[in-house]
Chains A and B, each alone.
Chain A
Amino acid sequence: MKQSWTEIMSSALLGTDKRPLDISILPEDVKLELSQIGPQSPENTLLKAAAIHHFYNQSGTEAAKLKSDVAIIKIEESKSYIKRNYINIYHRITETGYYEKEYLLNLWLDKVIGQNSIAAPEIILSIINLGTGLSKSTRKKILTILGERAKAILPLKPDFKTKELMVGGIDQWKEGSPEERRSIITDLREKDATKAINLIKEDWATETIVFKRTIIDLLSEQTHPIELAFLKSLYESEFAAKPKEKKTEIECRALLAKSLLKDVNSILYQTTLHHLKMYAGQEKKSGIIGLLTGSKERVIQVPIVVDTFFNGENMLYMYGIDPKNPDAALYKTDMIYWFSELLTILPLSTLMSILSKSKEEVLEYLVSHDDFKAKIEGKEVSVLLNALSENVKNNRDQELLDFILKFDTNQQKYLLLQYSESTFYEAYVIKEKLFLDAQVITHHPATNEDWSPYFSTKMLEATYKSLVVDKKHYYDKINLLMAKHLHVSSLSRLEDMYQSAVSDHYKEYWISHVYKPAKTSIEIKSSISQL
């Protein structure tokens, strides 16, 4: 059959003018049919032969058979599927907005994981598709609730990046990408810090310098006591200062110094304390009090010329600080710059001890003493303020943050709020009435939990007043965050506002942008909590 079809095709392609169909090569049945029709033009003969041949072929095709016997592989599940009420809530979650969806999904996933159930077949595809593009931690949870049949499907959904989630295996640690290997350590540190540090040590000698920096960065962020010895050994040997260092090596030393300075028992901390103590001195108190009482206060007398401690080489060798002063107008001397850099990583308790002052007094001293002030564009500025802000990030010092927020007039100070604790943050926002300041609200430290009931109500009231009463729009992202974070207890207040008599464009806007998404989200949260 195949050969005759090729013959028909050749005539059709070249044209019957050039190559009329030779019917003698056609199968007998086709020839018989053609002969019954009678004499035809070459074109008609060809088309008829093609038609008969095609239909014979089409209807005579037999089913193909697999080469090997098909084993009846029914995928058995060891866990039970989630119940209908879980599925209904899941469907509601899929309809929510981008901001609250992943958060709600995580709440739901936690419940399903707690129940030790797996996703029902009808939502497998949907949840894999939903998970694609969400964070790794969410995808990990999704993976946990996928049963055997879902896992059999995952290779067909490469965008879900399953491989990236299968962390922990020794093979992946040995052969994975830097990102995967970092994940392995992050996960392992949470479960078993000893095992994690042993794994790091095992292959340390063969790691690239860039990956070493990644690991040191990870460890220095929040150092586990068991990791200190390893970091200390790195600081003292591999990353101790040496000639012709690479930039990444210096960065590693800076990270190690940051980490070791947090440990009051470390040699680095003790050495630093010892050196700084030598700069402690006394001077007459400034202002009228000083004149009247003649009393003195303890100060840090940062040298005006380089010495054995405050010198570029020492700063580089000990702390990985770039010796070059980047802003001569701000930092009058290199020594002030180095002191400022040191202040970014040094716990304030060090200075409290040296100066025998309370934290507040130390801070007051650091930002108001003339030695630490400069004139920029005619304005007097505190040169150590940036260093203190950095210190908030490195040491999460709430008192320091409170002080900076009071002192600093720069709008950027609000960015530090993300390093505060939720209670501190909320109290501050309420006190300062910053509800409509998008820069502040978007930096609520509780990124994956509900706001407190009181703060939620306050947010609702402030946004309602702005939109519906004062008819003033604000940055829409605040609404999105409310949909995600409002506490379930704020539903009654939300309903009260909805029922209020006002009805205009602004109220409609409030209904569609605040009320509906927030209500849906709260209802979903309530349903999840009742599961």
Chain B
Amino acid sequence: MLTPAQIQSLAPDEPSMKSGKGLSVRNLWLTACRTERSLWGEIKGSGSKPYQTQVDLQNLAFKCNCPSRKFPCKHGIGLMLLWANDAFAVTQAEEPSWVAEWMDKRVAKAEKPAEPKEQTEDDLAKLKKSKQKRADDRMMAVEAGVGELTLWMSDLVRTGLLQLPNKDRSFFEKTAARMIDAKATGLASWVKSLGKINYYKDNYIWQNEALIILAKMHLLTTAFRNLESLPELWQHTIKSLIGWNQSPKELLADESTAIIKDIWIVVGQETTTEEDIIIQRSWLIGINTQRSALILNFGTRFAPLDISVINGSIIEAGVVFFPSVWPQRAVIKLQNRVLDQLPQSTVCLPNIDALYEYIAKVYAEYPFATDICCLVSDIRPLSNEGIFVGVDKEGRYVQILSDMETDKLIQWLAITGGDFYDTAVIIRNNKMLPLGIIMDNKYVLI
């Protein structure tokens, strides 16, 4: 069962959540029932017939015949909240036809994806040829872009980074645009990040940030120039960093990709907006495989984010990873059910020393790693000389990421009461971002 906080994360906006809360009262619903796989209810609206609201609990999805264009609508949120706040308010019943039909269709679709159109050998040959041509063209464009960027970086280093604070935004934007033209969007992002540094900050900070970005870009462009000599997995990784798209559809369709079945905790979620594109990052940790996975969701103002990955939820699912030297980005291929609590204890890194060893191992395998997500045993929050840290029982600590919201830190203190708990964290720039704790076999978000 989802918690009210998780349901809140599904709401498209604040007014919808507020309206949903208003509807989470049992006597407003004519019916409110559920099975193991579904939840449904009927509620009186402004029309003559009541609205029919239904929720797929296994593979979270909503449907309602109200006229709202918001998704999920206030009725969907209200029904979920009703159930979350009072399990007895929703009765066990057999699915009526309007629920059973929708659920059966969804189950069938999940089990059997649409068959691709049959193609002749001729079609396939043409397709292959055009695909190869596109790949060749792209490679040429990127090679040109990489050459240009190498020159740009060399010029910067030759003349000195002290000039950077005096450069206006267009200096970086122009080069980023050139990289986009060269179909190297990954490199464009690196250039932009160089432009986004706060050059009015402490000199030491901006100088370090700038040099590290340039060093990583240099490493990446050098690796790209040596692409053919690299193992296949590294080629995939480098190309992905440079900007080659990774298609979730292709990944899901590829039967050869291994499906990692596990009980996954959605340990954290972060939503950012970059140039009108909403990017949602969801971090998952498998309790048996101890693997971490990053699910990316993209949306715009007009195309809302997919809401199937709920922050803090525990799901039994099969996950497929994009090929990489350090596979992190993944897609959920099949989701069986949502669990109320963890069926077994989770294996965590035993302490902060072990966490550092793990980080070192990750960097050794993959120096471009940014967010390292893992579970660490017995961590507690502590204010150490005015700076918040996550500390283990041996007194080893990691500084908390400075841009973590104060209220989240307070929430962490409130939930733990200063006690040690197994904690899901992200290590970013050698600092810690706590995401949630395991308490009484449940995962509690911070």
**Chain A interfacial positions (CB closer than 8 Å to B):** 8-9, 12-18, 41-44, 46-48, 50-51, 54-55, 58-66, 69-70, 72-75, 77, 88, 91-92, 95, 121-122, 124-125, 128-129, 148-150, 152-153, 156-157, 503, 508, 516, 520, 523
Contacts and interface: CB of A to CB of B under 8 A. Distances in A.
B251 interface: no
A17 B218 contact: no
29 contacts: A12-B161, A13-B160, A13-B161, A13-B162, A15-B159, A17-B160, A44-B154, A51-B216, A51-B219, A54-B212, A59-B360, A59-B364, A61-B356, A63-B355, A63-B396, A65-B395, A66-B382, A66-B384, A66-B397, A69-B395, A72-B393, A74-B417, A88-B85, A92-B21, A121-B417, A122-B414, A156-B406, A157-B410, A503-B46
Contacts of B18: 95
Contacts of A50: 211-212, 214-215, 218
B160 A14 contact: yes
A48 B218 contact: yes
Contact of B391 (A14, A66, A129, A149): A66
A48 B219 CA distance: 7
Contact of B22 (A48, A61, A62, A520): A520
B211 A43 contact: no
A15 B164 CA distance: 12
Contacts of B398: 63-64
A155 to B, nearest CB: 9
A12 B209 CA distance: 12
A194 to B, nearest CB: 41
Contacts of B382: 66, 70
A15 to B, nearest CB: 3
Contacts of B201: none
Interface string B333-369: 0000000000000000000110110011001100100
Contact of B418 (A63, A149, A503): A149
Contacts of B46: 503, 508
Interface of B: 4, 18, 21-22, 25, 46, 85-86, 153-154, 157-162, 207-208, 211-212, 214-216, 218-219, 222, 352-353, 355-356, 359-360, 363-364, 367, 382, 384, 391, 393-399, 406-407, 409-411, 413-415, 417-420, 430
A18 B157 CA distance: 10
B301 to A, nearest CB: 26
B212 A153 contact: no
Contacts of A14: 160, 162
Contacts of A70: 382, 391, 393, 395
B360 A60 contact: yes
A63 B396 CA distance: 6
Contacts of A516: 22
Given A16-B158, A54-B211, 6 more contacts: A47-B218, A50-B215, A61-B356, A65-B394, A70-B382, A91-B85
Contacts of B384: 66
B157 A153 contact: no
Contacts of B158: 15-17, 42-43
B353 A125 contact: no
A451 B216 CA distance: 70
B410 A41 contact: no
A73 B391 CA distance: 12
Nearest to A119: B414
B419 A9 contact: no
A42 B157 CA distance: 9
A74 B419 contact: yes
Contacts of A75: 417-419
A interface, over-half SS: helix
B237 to A, nearest CB: 15
A70 B384 CA distance: 11
A156 B415 contact: no
Residue picked from A8, A148, A156, most chain B C-beta under 10 Å: A156
A152 B417 CA distance: 9
A125 B211 contact: no
A10 B161 CA distance: 9
B203 to A, nearest CB: 9
B87 to A, nearest CB: 10
Nearest to B17: A95
A43 B162 contact: no
B359 A125 contact: no
Contacts of B157: 12, 15-16, 43, 46-47
Nearest to B3: A122
Closest 7 CB pairs of A and B: A15-B160, A59-B363, A47-B218, A50-B215, A51-B215, A149-B417, A124-B414
Contacts of B399: 64
Contact of B396 (A9, A64, A121, A128): A64
A116 to B, nearest CB: 19
A9 B207 CA distance: 8
Contact of A63 (B352, B409, B413, B415): B352
Contacts of B393: 70, 72
B216 A153 contact: no
A125 B410 contact: yes
Contacts of B409: 156
B413 A153 contact: yes
B414 A121 contact: yes
Nearest to B25: A523
A150 B157 CA distance: 52
A51 B218 contact: yes
A47 B152 CA distance: 13
A509 B219 CA distance: 64
A149 B162 CA distance: 49
A12 B419 CA distance: 46
A281 B430 CA distance: 95
A528 to B, nearest CB: 15
Nearest to B28: A519
Contacts of A65: 394-397
Given A95-B22, A156-B406, A121 B415 contact: yes
B112 to A, nearest CB: 41
Contacts of A124: 414
A523 B28 CA distance: 12
Nearest to B408: A125
A7 to B, nearest CB: 12
Nearest to B219: A51
Contact of A152 (B21, B159, B394, B413): B413
Nearest to A51: B215
A58 B382 CA distance: 24
A123 to B, nearest CB: 9
Given A43-B158, A58-B430, A149-B414, A63 B397 contact: yes
Residue picked from A16, A69, A503, A516, most chain B C-beta under 10 Å: A16
B420 A72 contact: yes
A243 B45 CA distance: 77
Contacts of B215: 47, 50-51, 54
A63 B413 CA distance: 22
Nearest to A89: B85
Contact of B153 (A13, A43, A152): A43
A50 B161 CA distance: 13
Nearest to A150: B414
Contacts of A69: 395
B381 to A, nearest CB: 10
Contacts of B430: 58, 61
Contact of A17 (B25, B159, B207, B391): B159
A13 B287 CA distance: 46
Given A14-B160, A50-B215, A91 B353 contact: no
Given A54-B212, A63-B352, A88 B413 contact: no
Contacts of B25: 520, 523
A12 B395 contact: no
Contacts of B407: 125, 129
A41 B150 CA distance: 12
Contact of A149 (B154, B208, B222, B413): B413
